[in-house]
Structure formats: structure tokens, C-alpha cells
């Protein structure tokens, strides 16, 4: 039996509430139609990530086998949903609904799935450009899809690039925060060139002897995230007011994660960086004031850009 849209929205809302308190809080600032569509898209992104990483709602990732089989299943279910079929999987039916409503371009969905394919290949970045490419696929492409959900024309390249920049900033913050957790499941998203510069042995980088040096790398990630966040704020100014407010709230919260990791330095991974709810509310209130002002100018020159953006 095909689920109706209201049921999909309800399930998707529960998914984002449990899967990301930061995004859930920010999403509540959207107008109702945009909020529902954002939840539907999030449900698919969350499900893909969970299946790929063998986790539940973004937590407790484990080393898993059969990465290529899981990736194949994601592709098949996604294709079915985009073709208008009922899959019986809430997250994929949610994607089918929002993709049809907003006409999300196929290339954005394919680009996001490529991020999971990179993980399935046990891909590792050699350079900073490699790292940014990965961040684009796993998060920047989601920024592009969210921009379309918020009404951005898929032909508006500059605004899409800046939406991608925000996703990249988010992912850089995640990588800085999650170094220890990623290491526990055999993953390392830090460029080999950075590790060589710091004289750190890949695979040994989270050992106590290297913590001071990893603190330096964390600050480098946070500084890079700030560059992409500044670009994204220019793009956010082009959105409808409620969407602008929501996007800036999310930017403030994730920016705070990166800043907190950088501030802790060698102790950043003693316990997981979490932004308390009162602080999140304060950052959302700050975003309201920022949404009423023109952002600081931020040229994209020198920032990584998807090579074949349509």
C-alpha cells in the first residue's frame, strides 16, 4: 500500500528529530512547505548514510562488509523512487515525493551517491583538493539539492556553488569533530599531504603522541570551513527570508562545532563536541539578526568548485 505524503512527512520529521538535533532546530525556521520538503530530502540522505556506514541515525558506525552490495541497493532503490515507483522504504519514497515536487536535477542525486561510492572503494584523499571533492559529494551536493528545495533555479550556478560551499563547510566541521570515531572504524579523511607536513603516520594519527599535531590539523580544517561558510552566507542572502534565517542558523551551529574543536586543540577528542541546546537557540537568534543584514562580501576565487557544474 502506497504511503500518503502526510505519512511520509511525519516519518521524515521523526527521522530528522532523532538523527540531527542541529538540523532539526534549524529546519523549524523554514516556512511549512519548505520545512516538509527539507525533511523529506533529509530522510533519504540519512538513510543512505546509515546503510553505507552500518549505523543507525548517524550513530554507532561499525566496520562492515559488503560495501558494494549496499551501494548497489541504494542506487536501485533511488532509481525506483525517482521513476515514480513505490518502494515501500519510507526514505526512498520521501525522495520520490520531494524530487517530483521540486524537480531536483538527476546530477545532484548522482553526485551525492558518488560520495558513498567513494567510501565503498575505501577512497582516501591525497591532497586538499581531494578532501574538498569528497566533502562536495557527501555534503555539498546536498546543499545544491536543498537550494533547489528552497526555490533556487538549477541554472543559477553561482548560488548553487555557494550552497555547495555550505555543505562543504559542514562536512569539514564533521571531519574535524569525528577524527577519533572515524579512526575506530578504519576511516581517515585527512589528506596524506597534510599528514606528511605534520610528520604524522597515517593509521597512527589518533595515538596520544600525535594529539598536539592533530590539534593543528583540526584548526586547519576549521579555518578552511570558515572560508566556505563565508561564501555560503552570500548565497543565503538570495533566499526567501525564512529560508535565509534557517540556513544561517545551521551555518552558525556547525560553525560553532568547528570553532569548538579548534579551541580544544589536542583535547578535542577527549569527548565528543556537542553544542548545548541553549547555545543553539542563541545562535539561531543571532541568525535572525544576520538574516536582516547584508552579508560581508566573499569572493569565491580560490575556492574548490565542482568541475562540471551544469
Look at the chain and report how many structural domains it folds into.
1
| Nearest by Cα to 170 from 212, 226, 214 | 226
- Residue 182, domain extent: 5-291
Q: Using an 8 Å Cβ cutoff, are 213 and 198 in contact?
A: yes
Look at the chain and count its residues: 310
Q: Residues 170, 174, 175, 176: is their CA dihedral positive or negative?
A: positive
CA distance 273 to 176: 10
One digit per residue, the tens of pLDDT, for the chain of length 310 reads: 456 999 999 999 999 999 999 999 999 999 999 999 999 999 999 999 999 877 565 445 555 668 889 999 999 999 999 999 999 999 999 999 999 999 999 999 999 999 999 998 989 999 999 999 999 999 999 999 999 999 999 999 999 999 999 999 999 999 999 999 999 888 899 999 999 999 998 789 999 999 999 999 999 999 999 999 999 999 999 999 999 999 999 999 999 999 999 999 999 999 999 999 999 999 999 999 999 999 999 999 999 998 765 5
Q: Is 56 helix (H, G, I), strand (E, B) or coil?
A: strand
CA distance 279 to 296: 23
In a domain, 161, yes or no: yes
Q: What is the pLDDT of residue 185?
A: 85
In a domain, 300, yes or no: no
Q: What is the pLDDT of residue 310?
A: 54
Residue 27: Cβ within 10 Å count: 22
Q: pTM of the entire structure?
A: 0.94
In a domain, 296, yes or no: no
Question: What cell was used for 175?
Answer: 571531519
In a domain, 235, yes or no: yes
In a domain, 154, yes or no: yes
Q: What is the pLDDT of residue 1?
A: 46
Q: Which CATH number characterizes residue 253's domain?
A: 1.10.600.10
Phi/psi of residue 129, each to 5°?
Answer: -60, -40
In a domain, 200, yes or no: yes
Amino acid at each position: 500500500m502506497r504511503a500518503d505524503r502526510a505519512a511520509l512527512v511525519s516519518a521524515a520529521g521523526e527521522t530528522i528529530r532523532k538523527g540531527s538535533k542541529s538540523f532539526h532546530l534549524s529546519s523549524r525556521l523554514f516556512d511549512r512547505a519548505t520545512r516538509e520538503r527539507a525533511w523529506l530530502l533529509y530522510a533519504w540522505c540519512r538513510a543512505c548514510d546509515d546503510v553505507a556506514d552500518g549505523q543507525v541515525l548517524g550513530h554507532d558506525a561499525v566496520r562492515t562488509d559488503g560495501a558494494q552490495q549496499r551501494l548497489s541497493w541504494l542506487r536501485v532503490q533511488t532509481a525506483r523512487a525517482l521513476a515514480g515507483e513505490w518502494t515501500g522504504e519510507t526514505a526512498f519514497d520521501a525522495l520520490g515525493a520531494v524530487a517530483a515536487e521540486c524537480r531536483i536535477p538527476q546530477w545532484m542525486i548522482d553526485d551525492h551517491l558518488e560520495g558513498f561510492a567513494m567510501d565503498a572503494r575505501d577512497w582516501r584523499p591525497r591532497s586538499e583538493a581531494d578532501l574538498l571533492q569528497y566533502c562536495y559529494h557527501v555534503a555539498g551536493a546536498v546543499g545544491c539539492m536543498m537550494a533547489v528545495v528552497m526555490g533556487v533555479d538549477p541554472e543559477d550556478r553561482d548560488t548553487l556553488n555557494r550552497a555547495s560551499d555550505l555543505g562543504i563547510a559542514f562536512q569539514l566541521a564533521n571531519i574535524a569533530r569525528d577524527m577519533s570515531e572515524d579512526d575506530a572504524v578504519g576511516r581517515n579523511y585527512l589528506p596524506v599531504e597534510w599528514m606528511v607536513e605534520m610528520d604524522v603516520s597515517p593509521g597512527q594519527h589518533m595515538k596520544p603522541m600525535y594529539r598536539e599535531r592533530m590539534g593543528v590539523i583540526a584548526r586547519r580544517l576549521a579555518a578552511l570551513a570558515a572560508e566556505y561558510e563565508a561564501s555560503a552566507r552570500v548565497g543565503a542572502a538570495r533566499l526567501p527570508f525564512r529560508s535565509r534565517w534557517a540556513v544561517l542558523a545551521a551555518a552558525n551551529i556547525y560553525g560553532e562545532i568547528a570553532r569548538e574543536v579548534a579551541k580544544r586543540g589536542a583535547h578535542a577528542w577527549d569527548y565528543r563536541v556537542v553544542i548545548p541546546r541553549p547555545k543553539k537557540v542563541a545562535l539561531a537568534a543571532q541568525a535572525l539578526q544576520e538574516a536582516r543584514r547584508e552579508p560581508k562580501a566573499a569572493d569565491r576565487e580560490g575556492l574548490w568548485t565542482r568541475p562540471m557544474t551544469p
